Chain A
Amino acid sequence: MQVIYSAMALFLLMTLVTGLWRILRGPTPADRMLAAQLFGTTAVASLLLLAQALDRPHLRDVALVFALLATVTAVAFIRRAWTVWEEEQADE
């Protein structure tokens, strides 16, 4: 069972690395930001799997903090960076 959890965590890490491609490609800031948010979600999932695989129940707390705080970055993006970008697009 442990091996299956570890293998799944490894698989999630691989999908995470693949997600890097979207951050690098873009093309709009929203694409990059969403890819980073996807990183966060994948990290939550792999933390939960690692908590089972390594038998470290406290990793669930780390996953909970991740899930809660990923929103702050998203809200900062919407309130600060995105409005600026939208205005610039509207200007052209």
Chain B
Amino acid sequence: MRSAGRRWHYLLFRWALMLLLLAVAVGLGYALLSLPQQAVGLSEQVSANMATSGVQNPVTAVLLNFRGYDTLLEMAVLLVALLGVWSLGSAEVHRKIDPEPVLSLLVGGLAPMMILMAGYLLWAGTNTPGGAFQAGSVLAAAGILLLLSSKRFPVRLMGWPLRVVLLLGLGTFAAVGMTLLFVSGGFLQYPSSLAGAFILFIEAAATLSIGVTLAALFLGGRPQAGPYR
């Protein structure tokens, strides 16, 4: 039971916190309002270099070409998050499997559609909205749907094949970058005639890795063979 003094302290803490956060909000608002009404940002540089980027979608150009190393390091972040989850223990395996006909029918129809959608987003990402991250997320959703439907995954896929796919994105990205470092003298400096092909190649590998990494993160532990709970 909380004594009257403690309770008073608690209320004081609440009010002090509210005042402090009000000050933070007002400060943030003032900072935002005092910014210039119009700013060009980096849009001029982006549009000036679009011709040499190898793709038509400016967001993909920024992600895979102009700031490619950002995306490379993000793949590493995803991998580190997965390593963190795996180091906490192995995934729980469900004790009993109850076959659910409606769910299997749904998953059997939807999962292929999602994989198709992921492929479309990856392909379309070069000139319309889309790209590796979106495609990877859709792929991960297909994987999660399969995991949720208690499909039994083959044991032999849970060992090194899984790890190869997890590393594929980061590996391809780094390998292409290093090769270009020796060939053209700059890390991830694509020759402009081949830039589109390089970007699509890296994105395809990245999509697979992002999809499998996110689905593995959903599992919440090192995978074993079996239906998951």
Complex: A in contact with B (CB within 8 Å): yes
Tell me if A's interface is mostly helix, strand, loop or mixed: helix
Binary per-residue interface labels of chain B (110-123) against chain A in the complex, 1 for a CB within 8 Å, 0 otherwise: 10011001000100
| In the complex, chain B residues whose CB is within 8 Å of the CB of A25 | none
Total chain B interface residues with beta-carbon distance under 8 A: 20
Shortest C-beta distance, A57 to chain B (Å), equals 8
Among A3-11, A13-21, A61-69, the one that faces the other chain is A61-69
| In the complex, chain B residues whose CB is within 8 Å of the CB of A79 | 103, 148-150
**Residue A54 interfacial (CB < 8 Å):** no
| In the complex, chain A residues whose CB is within 8 Å of the CB of B138 | 65, 68-69
**Residue B224 interfacial (CB < 8 Å):** no
Shortest C-beta distance, B223 to chain A (Å), equals 18
B interface list, Cβ under 8 A from A: 103, 106-107, 110, 113-114, 117, 121, 124, 128-130, 134, 138, 141, 144-145, 148-150
A interface list, Cβ under 8 A from B: 58, 61-62, 64-65, 68-69, 71-72, 75-76, 78-80
- Shortest beta-carbon contacts, A-B, top 8: A58-B129, A72-B141, A79-B148, A58-B128, A69-B141, A75-B148, A72-B145, A68-B114
Given A58-B129, A68-B141, A72-B144, list of 4 further CB < 8 A pairs?
A61-B130, A69-B114, A71-B110, A76-B144
